[in-house]
């Protein structure tokens, strides 16, 4: 792999604007090469284009060599050090090259210094947290003598170890070297700290609403100690990953400068790289070792205080987790894909051979069994679209793992998702073939109950796998999904994060899947499955009522999430978003009422509200969620930054979004196709909505990624266990 591609692949996506613009520097080198090809070879010996007396402006002794052709000077302005190159023998293209290189290097050097300063401040904060944890641990030990000796800490020994390992001048970045070995010191620390609140739960939110009094005193219990240790351990690990990113940033940019200078020497036939790299090596970017010292401090602190001095265990925690793509996953995905295709072909052949289409049994099957099985079809299609999203997110370097907050090394790749989707599809198709026969038993003149229970068994199996507590079948991802789903259901009582409203948006595209679940309850709950009929469900008022409610639930959850964010953030944009979902709720109810009651009044109101809701939602999709249709940008009707190089993709996505948003027209127009059963048409329209949501997913996350890039946000905020009272006082 060429260095340019490797350089891009190694970048931290959210910091890509802060890296050396290696590609642009290479284009300038191409201009230099072109100018040399058309110029006189002896033109290199012409007089320098810049007077040598320019170097007198700088207070620096520079060793000038005619072989170098440049002088690199250090300039200090307002306590900030920058570097400028003076050209002794250069053409216009070479001048442009070094001016660009200086600008890029100064940008990188400043960005690196900023990140190191922030890391130093965070290290001081973690040092205070570790002080508090050790004092808290000692207090718990005093109050609970039953603690095992393995977790005890001799504070005097600890202090002496840290003191002996510290070097002069390192007290600013040491982690835990402020621990007092006197009881009075521990007491002072404990008097100044309080336990931070953990993530808000529905129960804690209810207590807040009911104004239930909380105990403010610090409780020295084993549970609180365990919570504090877990939180601080996560904070140390996350901080270590930040330091790794900063260190890698320094290494990559230094390597890129070295590579581009070697290319310059080769192109311009000069020997300037040595002099320029001497300046780079003496700069803060390369000479500073603070990040390395911080990493050593984190390693020693984590190993000593969280791993019982077990270095291998500590380094295993700090080592980045990578979810490797295995050949077995690829093989299994292809195997289940082939099985699914074979079963679809077999299903089509059996239907044709038995001449099932057009028979009374076929109509009964479409009204009973088809609504049960189409639920799995909707889920499989949504999973395939999600796998496609992952593939293109990775291809265009959208950091979806960071945006969603997946635990490092547990995020699913597109092959994993395809494997799950094709596996579920194969299982569902097998179940369809098992009870495809629409005829009654020749002896009992009754339908076989066991056969009718196959869809229910399949649904129970899927739910059992999803809820399985054992560490099989991607437990981390399943639990993450269940946790986010729970927060979606408890929308008013939980702080809403991006994964929460992203999943809620997915649920709004699965209305027909929710109605299929409702049909499961009715079909098997009222016993209609024994006779394969739906008379009870269709004529039941409760079923009809819930037919409305089920269609509204996903939008209602999303509406509550918007209200919650409006109250917390005081951003009116969330209120406007809530109006969008409220309009959608009204439109969905009116369309459902029209399908059940018909009539001119229902038709007109459904038309009006559906039209307004569609216009509102389309504008929100394209302008707000995707960030397109911006004025005054270089990309007409798009935005300044695009990850997909082909602009036609964005235009096509906008047109498709509008068209697929109009599938509700079938409801109000009451379109009927003789070759399609009503349930089949409903399923096809639901599939179109799922496809629209899959397209929306890519551009929505692309826009979120670009917002993170604009703010250089590459790390998630980690809650700390303790809160110092003086910090609270300063904030107030």
Task: Tell me what the mean pLDDT of segment 139-147 comes to.
Answer: 71
| pLDDT over threshold 60, residue 159 | no
Tens-place pLDDT, residues 555-573: 999 999 999 999 988 999 9
In-domain check, residue 610: yes
pLDDT at 46: 43
Residue 48: pLDDT band (50, 70, 90) is very low
Residues 212-238 have a mean pLDDT of 80
The answer to which of 109-118, 404-413, 423-432, 568-577 has the lowest mean pLDDT is 404-413
- How many whole angstroms separate alpha carbon 351 and alpha carbon 433? 10
Average pLDDT of the chain is 82
Q: Residue 34, class by beta-carbon neighbours within 10 Å (0-12 exposed, 13-18 middle, 19+ buried)? A: exposed
Do 237 and 317 touch, CB atoms closer than 8 A? yes
Could you list the residue range(s) of the whole structural domain that residue 611 is in? Answer: 327-710
CB 302 within 8 A of CB 315: no
Residue at 559 is within a domain: yes
Residue 385 belongs to some domain of the structure: yes
Using a 10 angstrom Cβ sphere, with 0-12 exposed, 13-18 middle and 19 or more buried, the burial of residue 517 is: middle
For residue 288, give both structure tokens: 């500073």
State how far the Cα of 560 lies from the Cα of 285, in Å rounded to an integer: 48
- H or E element at residue 227: helix 222-268
Structural domain count of the chain: 1
The alpha carbon torsion through 606, 612, 614, 618 (nearest 10 deg) reads 180
**What is the C-alpha to C-alpha distance for residues 214 and 179, in angstroms, rounded to an integer?**
30
Rounded Cα distance between 362 and 359, Å, is 5
Looking at the domain assignment, is residue 242 inside a domain?
Answer: no
pLDDT in the model for residue 212: 52
Among 606, 212, 247, residue whose Cα is nearest residue 239 = 247
Torsion, Cα 268 271 274 279, to 10 degrees, reads: -60
**What's the rounded Cα separation, in Å, for the pair 246 and 252?**
10
pLDDT (average), residues 494-500:
90
The pLDDT of 253-278, averaged and rounded, is 89
Lowest mean pLDDT among 172-181, 248-257, 361-370, 597-606: 172-181
Pull the structure tokens for residue 88.
Answer: 């002794």
Least-confidence region, from 659-663, 666-670, 695-699: 666-670
Q: Which phi and psi angles does 43 have, rounded to 5°?
A: -70, -15
Give the DSSP letter of residue 411. Answer: P
As a whole number of angstroms, the distance between CA 616 and CA 250 comes to 46
Q: pLDDT tens for residues 182-201? A: 456 666 777 778 877 766 66
Q: Give the residue-averaged pLDDT of 342-346.
A: 94
- pLDDT per position as a tens digit, 376-415: 999 999 999 999 999 999 999 998 998 998 887 888 999 9
Rounded to two decimals, what is the model's pTM?
A: 0.83
Q: 353 pLDDT exceeds 90?
A: no
Question: Does residue 137 form part of some domain?
Answer: no
Of 542 and 615, which is predicted with more confidence?
A: 615
171 lies in some domain? no
For β-strands 70-77 and 80-87, DSSP reports them as antiparallel
Q: What is the per-residue pLDDT across 580-639, written as a single tens digit (0 to 9) for each?
A: 999 999 988 888 888 777 778 888 888 898 899 999 999 999 999 999 998 888 898 999
357: which DSSP letter?
A: T
Does residue 206 form part of some domain?
A: no
CB atoms within 10 A of CB 209: 10
Residue 411: C-alpha distances to residues 347, 404, 477 (Å): 35, 10, 7
Q: Residue 74's pLDDT band (boundaries 50, 70, 90)?
A: confident
Q: Residue 652 in 3-state DSSP?
A: helix
Q: What is the DSSP string of 47-86?
A: PPSS-GGGGGGSSS-----TTT-EEEEEEEETTEEEEEEE
Give one DSSP letter per residue of 310-329, joined into a string: -HHHHHHHHSPP--PPPHHH
List CB contacts of 727: < 8 A, sequence separation 6 or more.
none
Cβ-in-10-Å burial (0-12, 13-18, 19+) of 261 comes to buried
552 within domain boundaries:
yes
The candidate with the shortest Cα–Cα distance to 137, out of 234, 224, 198, 197, is 224
């Amino acid at each position: 792999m060429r260095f340019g591609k490797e350089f891009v692949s190694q970048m931290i996506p959210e910091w890509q604007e802060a890296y050396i613009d290696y590609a642009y520097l290479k284009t300038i080198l191409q201009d230099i090469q072109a100018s040399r090809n058309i110029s006189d070879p002896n033109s290199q010996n012409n007089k320098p284009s810049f007077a040598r007396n320019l170097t007198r402006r700088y207070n620096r002794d520079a060793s000038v060599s005619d072989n170098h052709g440049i002088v690199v000077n250090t300039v200090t302005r307002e306590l900030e050090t920058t570097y400028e190159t003076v050209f002794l023998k250069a053409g216009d293209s070479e001048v442009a090259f070094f001016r660009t290189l200086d600008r890029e290097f100064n940008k990188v050097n400043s960005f690196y210094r900023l990140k190191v300063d922030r890391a130093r401040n965070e290290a001081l904060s973690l040092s205070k947290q570790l002080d508090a944890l050790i004092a808290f641990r000692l207090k718990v030990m005093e109050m609970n003598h039953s603690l095992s000796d393995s977790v005890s800490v001799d504070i005097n020994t600890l202090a002496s170890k840290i003191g002996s390992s510290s070097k002069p001048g390192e007290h600013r970045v040491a982690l835990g070297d402020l621990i007092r070995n006197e009881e009075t010191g521990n007491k002072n620390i404990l008097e100044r700290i309080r336990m931070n609140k953990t993530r808000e739960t529905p129960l804690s939110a209810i207590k807040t609403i009911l104004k239930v009094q909380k105990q403010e005193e610090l409780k020295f219990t084993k549970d609180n100690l365990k919570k504090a240790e877990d939180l601080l351990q996560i904070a140390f690990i996350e901080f270590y990953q930040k330091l790794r990113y900063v260190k890698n940033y320094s290494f990559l940019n230094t390597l890129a400068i070295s590579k581009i200078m070697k290319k310059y020497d080769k192109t311009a036939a000069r020997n300037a790289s040595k002099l320029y790299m001497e300046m780079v090596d003496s700069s803060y970017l390369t000479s500073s070792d603070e990040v390395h010292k911080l990493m050593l401090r984190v390693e020693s602190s984590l190993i000593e205080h969280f791993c019982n001095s077990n270095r291998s265990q500590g380094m295993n925690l700090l080592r980045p987790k990578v979810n490797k793509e295995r050949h077995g996953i690829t093989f299994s995905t292809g195997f289940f894909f082939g099985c699914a295709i074979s079963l679809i072909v077999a299903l089509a052949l059996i239907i044709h051979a038995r001449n099932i289409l057009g028979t009374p049994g076929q109509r009964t099957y479409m009204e009973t069994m088809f609504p049960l099985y189409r639920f799995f079809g909707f889920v499989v299609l949504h999973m395939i679209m999600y796998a496609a999203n992952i593939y293109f997110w990775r291809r265009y370097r959208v950091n979806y793992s960071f945006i969603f907050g997946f635990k490092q090394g547990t995020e699913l790749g597109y092959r994993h998702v395809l494997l799950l989707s094709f596996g579920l599809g194969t299982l569902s198709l097998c179940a369809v073939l098992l009870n495809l026969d629409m005829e009654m038993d020749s002896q009992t003149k009754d339908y076989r109950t066991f056969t009718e229970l196959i869809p229910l068994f399949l649904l129970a199996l899927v739910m059992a796998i999803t809820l399985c507590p054992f560490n099989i079948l991607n437990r981390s991802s399943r639990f993450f999904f269940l946790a986010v789903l729970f927060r979606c259901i408890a929308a008013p009582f939980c702080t809403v994060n991006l994964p929460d409203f992203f999943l809620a948006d997915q649920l709004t595209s699965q209305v027909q899947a929710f109605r299929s679940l409702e049909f499961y309850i009715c079909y098997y709950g009222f016993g209609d499955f024994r006779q394969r009929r739906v008379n009870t469900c269709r004529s039941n008022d409760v079923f009809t009522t819930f037919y409305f409610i089920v269609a509204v639930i996903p939008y209602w959850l999303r509406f509550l999430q918007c209200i919650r964010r409006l109250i917390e953030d005081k951003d009116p944009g969330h209120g406007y978003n809530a109006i969008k979902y409220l309009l959608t709720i009204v439109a969905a109810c009116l369309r459902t009422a029209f399908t059940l009651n018909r009539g001119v009044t229902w038709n007109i109101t459904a038309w009006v509200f559906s039209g307004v809701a569609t216009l509102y939602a389309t504008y929100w999709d394209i302008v707000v969620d995707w960030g397109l249709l911006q004025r005054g940008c270089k990309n007409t009707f798009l935005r300044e930054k695009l990850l997909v190089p082909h602009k036609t993709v964005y235009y096509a996505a906008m047109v498709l979004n509008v068209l697929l948003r109009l599938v509700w027209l079938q409801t109000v127009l009451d379109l009927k196709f003789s070759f399609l059963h009503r349930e089949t048409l409903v399923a096809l329209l639901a599939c179109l909505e799922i496809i629209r949501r899959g397209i929306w997913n890519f551009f929505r996350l692309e826009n979120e990624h670009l917002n993170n890039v604009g703010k250089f946000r590459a790390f998630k905020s980690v809650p700390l266990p303790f809160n110092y009272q003086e910090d609270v006082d300063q904030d107030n």
